[in-house]
Amino acid sequence: MPKGATIVWYLNGQKSGEGEKFTVKEARESFTVQAKIVDENGNVLNDTETELIKVKTDFFSRIIAFIRMIFCSLPIIEQ
């Protein structure tokens, strides 16, 4: 990465954070995410494709998530 550049994260097209990692806590609906490398002047040097993150909200998925939460085994996905 060029000196002075940062990674900027966009959720649903809106700037949502900066840094090497970005965490979305308690996602309740599906969303899109994109990362862009931005220089100190705000110019986009490079970007990723927009990726759709699907959050399952149907009844059975919520029951399974609740049971997994009880046993502290909810998934955390890092990319």
| Tokens, residue 58 | 């149907």
| Tokens, residue 40 | 């100190």
**6 CA to centre of own chain:** 16
Stated pTM of the model:
0.72
**Tens digit of each residue's pLDDT (9 = 90 or more) over 3-29:** 889 999 999 999 999 999 888 887 888
**Tens digit of each residue's pLDDT (9 = 90 or more) over 43-64:** 999 999 999 988 888 888 888 8
Could you report how far apart the first and last alpha carbons of the chain are, in Å? 18
Residue with tokens 């990319």: 79
Residue with tokens 């986009």: 44
